[in-house]
């Protein structure tokens, strides 16, 4: 080893030792923070308070970003770091909260409990101290026994089967039992439940898949049907598991879902089908792809990696959805003339009109998509 190298290693050793000491301090502080979190969990659990407190988290991030600037630390780096810390904290809280029941010992029957989504909720209720029963196709000869004295009947079956299942199960339930469903449309199932069952009724739509490891920050739409007060314990239980509750009427829910689910999935299907019809070599396009193209293609591939029957149910669920999708196809046809005439000014004019309509959301979308793209670059 030459003299320069020797001097370098002598000088850098105490610096590295100091970094190691700082890392140990950071670890110790994280452990202390976790102990405080556990005390918060105990308090929330005792008072049945929800895990997720969005205002508290955003205030913390805002304050830390301001402090980072003063300290000469990159605010984006500090935010990324604390988003990870906060998420880990929420997940730990949620797991502990899963052991807390708003009505421990109450009886819950999951109709369709052998399915993935029904199975997820069966596990959640079981871990929270509820008496859980499942009712599936092979159990109908014992349906009366299974439904006897239940406090909640949760219907988790395909959309087209829901009204018939509701009609069959309702006469077997106690008059004061809550009836709820998990379908992705709400108007028809909610009306079917209100017709068939004279007790409390609520529509639920989990905007997440059954493979979710946690309900942390997962959106659950609740649609009141009848006797909302009697259903409140169910809403509180979902919040205790970490879900973000969005309340809506069945009509509003279905109108929004026409855009959020049906139109989005159908447009993605059309894009994927066009690539298939053109026999595009996907692996070759990825060699030329920017991160945003990889992200967009990833969303298309994600759709085709899942159950086609499930997406058919979502897309073709109602006449209103099918009408909207036909209007979407008509809107694409309107732009044919623009292409045929090579009408760049027309395109620019329409583009600017749409951009003005999007307004401030475009800036938000730019920030959020840039964040996702940067994470994609880090991963791949």
pLDDT, tens digit (0-9, with 9 covering 90-100), for 309-346 = 989 989 998 999 999 999 999 999 889 999 999 999 99
pLDDT tens-digit profile of 249-275? 999 999 999 999 999 999 999 999 999
Residue 346, Cβ neighbours under 10 Å: how many? 14
Q: 217 pLDDT band (50/70/90 cuts)?
A: confident
Which two tokens mark 265? 């999935």
C-alpha dist (Å) from residue 283 to 53, 275, 297, 342, 372: 42, 12, 11, 31, 22
| Statement: residue 239 has pLDDT above 80 | yes
**What is the per-residue pLDDT for 364?**
86
Tokens 């004019």, residue located: 349
Higher pLDDT, 156 or 64: 156
**What is the per-residue pLDDT for 203?**
98
**What is the per-residue pLDDT for 98?**
56
**What is the per-residue pLDDT for 235?**
96
**What is the per-residue pLDDT for 62?**
83
Say how far residue 206 (Cα) sits from the centre of its chain: 7
DSSP H helical ranges for the chain: 3-47, 54-71, 75-97, 116-127, 143-147, 162-169, 187-196, 228-240, 250-257, 264-277, 282-287, 291-304, 308-315, 319-334, 336-340, 344-358, 361-379
Secondary structure letter of residue 100 according to DSSP:
-
Residue 183's nearest CA partner among 161, 147, 156 is 156
Q: 4 pLDDT band (50/70/90 cuts)?
A: confident
**What is the per-residue pLDDT for 109?**
98
On whether the CB atoms of residues 154 and 243 are closer than 8 A, the answer is no
Least confident of 28-37, 140-149, 192-201, 271-280: 28-37
Using DSSP, state whether 109 is helix, strand or coil: strand
**What is the per-residue pLDDT for 58?**
79
Q: 1 pLDDT band (50/70/90 cuts)?
A: low
On whether the CB atoms of residues 313 and 266 are closer than 8 A, the answer is no
pLDDT tens-digit profile of 91-127? 776 666 556 789 989 999 999 999 999 999 999 999 9
Question: Quick one: 107-248 is in which CATH superfamily?
Answer: NAD(P)-binding Rossmann-like Domain (3.40.50.720)
Domain boundary assignment for the chain: 3-97, 107-248, 253-379
Mean pLDDT, the chain, rounded, equals 90
Least confident of 165-169, 190-194, 215-219: 215-219
pTM of the entire structure? 0.74
* Alpha carbon distance 161, 177 (integer Å): 21
| Statement: residue 87 has pLDDT above 90 | no
Q: Quick one: average pLDDT of 8-28?
A: 90
Cα Rg of the chain, angstroms = 26
Compute φ and ψ for 77, nearest 5 degrees: -60, -45
C-alpha dist (Å) from residue 1 to 5, 15, 345: 6, 20, 69
pLDDT tens-digit profile of 33-58? 888 888 887 787 677 676 666 667 77
Residue 239's nearest CA partner among 46, 50, 48, 47 is 50
**What is the per-residue pLDDT for 59?**
81
Q: What angle do CA 281, 284, 290 make, to 5 degrees?
A: 120
Is CATH 1.10.3660.10 correct for 253-379? yes
**What is the per-residue pLDDT for 269?**
97
CATH number for the 3-97 domain, one of 3.10.20.600, 1.20.140.10, 1.20.59.10, 3.90.1150.10?
1.20.59.10
């Amino acid at each position: 080893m030459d003299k320069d190298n020797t001097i370098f290693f002598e000088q850098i050793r105490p610096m590295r030792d100091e970094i190691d000491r700082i890392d140990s301090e950071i670890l110790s502080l994280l452990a202390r923070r976790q102990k405080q979190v556990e005390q918060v969990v105990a308090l929330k659990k005792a008072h049945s308070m929800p895990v997720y407190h969005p205002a508290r988290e955003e205030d913390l991030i805002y304050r830390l970003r301001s402090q980072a600037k003063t300290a000469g630390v990159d605010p984006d780096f500090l935010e990324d770091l604390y988003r990870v810390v906060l998420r880990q904290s929420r997940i730990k809280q949620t797991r502990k909260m899963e052991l807390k029941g708003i009505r421990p010992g109450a009886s819950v029957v999951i109709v369709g409990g052998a399915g993935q989504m029904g199975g997820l909720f069966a596990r959640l209720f079981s871990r929270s101290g509820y008496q859980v029963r499942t009712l599936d196709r092979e159990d109908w000869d014992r349906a009366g026994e299974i439904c006897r004295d239940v406090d909640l009947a949760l219907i988790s079956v395909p959309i087209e089967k829901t009204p018939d299942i509701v009609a069959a199960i309702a006469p077997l339930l106690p008059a004061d039992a809550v009836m709820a469903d998990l379908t992705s449309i709400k108007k028809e199932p909610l009306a079917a439940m209100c017709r068939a069952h004279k007790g409390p009724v609520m529509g639920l739509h989990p905007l997440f898949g059954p493979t979710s490891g946690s309900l942390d920050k997962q959106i659950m739409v609740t649609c009141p049907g009848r006797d909302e007060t009697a259903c409140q314990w169910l809403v509180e239980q979902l919040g205790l598991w970490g879900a973000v509750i969005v309340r809506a009427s069945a009509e509003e829910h279905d109108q929004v879902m026409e855009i959020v689910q049906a139109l989005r999935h159908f447009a993605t299907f059309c894009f994927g089908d066009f690539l298939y019809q053109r026999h595009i070599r996907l692996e070759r396009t990825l060699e030329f792809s920017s991160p945003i193209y990889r992200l967009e293609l990833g969303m298309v591939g994600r759709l085709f990696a899942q159950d086609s029957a499930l997406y058919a149910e979502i897309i073709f669920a109602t006449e209103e959805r099918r009408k909207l999708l036909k209007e979407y196809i008509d809107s694409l046809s309107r732009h044919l003339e623009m292409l045929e005439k090579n009408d760049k000014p027309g395109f620019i004019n329409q583009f600017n009109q749409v951009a003005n309509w999007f307004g401030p959301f475009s800036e938000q979308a730019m920030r959020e998509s840039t964040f996702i793209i940067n994470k994609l670059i880090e991963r791949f």
